[in-house]
Amino acid sequence: MTLKEQITEDMKTAMRAKDSERLATIRLLLAAMKQKEVDERVELDDATVIAIVDKMVKQRKDSIAAFTTGGRADLADKEAAEIKVLEVYQPQRMSADEVANAVKAIVVELGAAGPGDMGKVMGVVKTRLAGKADMGQVSAAVKAALTGA
């Protein structure tokens, strides 16, 4: 079963269980997926669906930060609940140590040295670790590897 089919089945399950919060989040995800299919005239594979989920999670994390600074804990809690629903569809993430080791291996492989090579390293790292690790964490690991920190 593809990830897209799994999400559709989860929507049906949420409808039957009358779980309105979960249903609303899954519908938002399905709408984003449908929008991508229509805009690009493609059938989504699991990697593309994961990229959409990652984007939606990042948007919600940004919203939580904004709501928290604005004193709107109620809205921040709603966004946090949506993140929990979306995280079910993300693959298992790499640990900080695994990310650091992978980045170090890529730095050695490319022969990169110094902060000036960050763009070159990030280009390779993004393709290899996409969907497997949080890109904010990856960026910090690249900076640390290139500055020797």
Rounded to an integer, what distance in angstroms lies between the CA atom of residue 124 and that of residue 128?
A: 6
3-class SS of residue 128: helix
pLDDT along the chain (149 residues), means of 10: 93 96 96 95 89 92 95 95 93 84 86 79 83 81 79
Rounded to an integer, what distance in angstroms lies between the CA atom of residue 112 and that of residue 125?
A: 12
Query: 118 with 147: CB under 8 angstroms?
Result: no
Would the CATH topology of 3-87 be identical to that of 96-147?
Answer: no
pLDDT of 75 reads 95
| Residues 96-147, CATH architecture | Orthogonal Bundle (1.10)
Residues 6 or more apart whose CB falls under 8 angstroms from that of 98 comprise 133
pLDDT of 8 reads 95
pLDDT of 106 reads 87
pLDDT of 117 reads 79
3-class SS of residue 42: coil
pLDDT of 35 reads 96
Question: What is the topology classification, in CATH, of domain 3-87?
Answer: Hypothetical Protein Yqey; Chain: A; domain1 (1.10.1510)
Beta-carbon neighbour count of residue 115 at 10 Å?
A: 11
Q: Which amino acid is at 122?
A: M
Sketch the domain layout of the chain as residue ranges. 3-87, 96-147
Q: pTM of the predicted model, to two decimals?
A: 0.76
pLDDT of 116 reads 78
pLDDT of 95 reads 82
pLDDT of 124 reads 85
Query: 102 with 94: CB under 8 angstroms?
Result: yes
pLDDT of 114 reads 76
Tell me the backbone φ, ψ of residue 7, rounded to 5 degrees.
Answer: -65, -40
Query: 105 with 128: CB under 8 angstroms?
Result: no
Q: Which residue matches tokens 């897209």? A: 4
